[in-house]
């Protein structure tokens, strides 16, 4: 397998086309690159396979009997679990309105037939890499959100403990557990005995 695809060797691609000859051509091309392939000759079967296997990329023909490629793509995008899967249309329809319809249906790219092998391979690799990056970014964001939620929960718990301890022991009893705060509290108490003395408590930044 070419080195450029080494990082994507485990990628799973679903090929959808009602024309067996077209499937054979794409299958031969992509198998040579080491991709794991699944094949579907129509839209309904493609939806079932996608739901069961969760492919990393779908190559989808537009003109198919019963359910065309646009309908298949729209159906995929209604499922939250399948929505992130990139769909690359491959079709003999090359009019501008056909291409626009593909993007509006939810496709990420559109290749016209007859296609060039190098172009298909380049686009497939590009969208697989983008899909992998998006998945990793989503996982990192989810982990970050979980960490933020964990810290907020811990902060709330500590705040509740501090409030409960203050109510139980009073401020003097609570701060007495910290040597530094205890010294500050004692100094303030001593100064309270001399009302004529003004006190400024200053932090490291110089602010009061």
Q: Integer distance in angstroms from the first to the last C-alpha of the chain?
A: 67
Q: What is the pLDDT of residues 84-98, one digit of tens each?
A: 999 999 999 999 999
Tell me if the bond preceding 114 is cis, omega within 30° of 0.
yes
Of 2-11, 40-49, 60-69, 134-143, the one with minimum mean pLDDT is 2-11
Q: Are the C-beta atoms of 50 and 42 separated by less than 8 Å?
A: no
Using 50, 70 and 90 to split pLDDT, how confident is the model at 150? confident
What domains sit in the chain, N to C, each tagged with a CATH number? 3-140 (3.40.50.2300)
Q: Is the pLDDT of residue 11 over 50?
A: yes
Residues 164-196: tens digit of each pLDDT: 766 676 655 555 556 666 666 666 666 666 666
- Cα gap 69→43, rounded to integer Å: 7
Pairing of the two strands 57-61 and 109-112: unpaired
Model confidence at 45: pLDDT above 90 = yes
Instruction: Supply the pLDDT for residue 166.
Output: 67
Write out pLDDT tens, residues 110-145. 999 888 999 999 999 999 999 888 888 888 888 888
0.75 exceeded by the pTM? no
């Amino acid at each position: 397998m070419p080195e450029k695809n080494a990082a994507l060797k485990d990628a799973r691609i679903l090929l959808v086309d009602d024309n067996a000859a077209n499937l054979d051509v794409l299958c031969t091309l992509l198998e040579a690159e080491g991709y794991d392939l699944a094949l579907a000759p129509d839209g309904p079967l493609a939806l079932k396979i996608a739901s069961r296997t969760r492919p990393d990329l779908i190559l989808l023909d537009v003109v198919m009997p019963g359910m065309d490629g646009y309908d298949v793509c729209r159906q995929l995008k209604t499922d939250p679990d399948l929505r992130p899967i990139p769909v690359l249309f491959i079709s003999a329809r090359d009019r501008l309105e056909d291409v626009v319809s593909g993007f509006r249906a939810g496709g990420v790219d559109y290749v016209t037939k007859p296609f060039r092998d190098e172009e298909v391979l380049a686009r497939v690799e590009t969208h697989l890499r983008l899909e992998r990056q998006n998945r990793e970014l989503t996982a990192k964001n989810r982990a970050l959100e979980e960490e933020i939620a964990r810290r907020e929960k811990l902060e709330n718990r500590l705040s509740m403990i501090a409030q409960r301890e203050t109510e139980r022991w009073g401020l003097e009893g609570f701060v007495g557990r910290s040597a530094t705060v205890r010294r500050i509290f004692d100094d303030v108490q001593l100064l309270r005995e001399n009302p004529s003395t003004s006190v400024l408590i200053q932090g490291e930044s110089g602010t009061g």
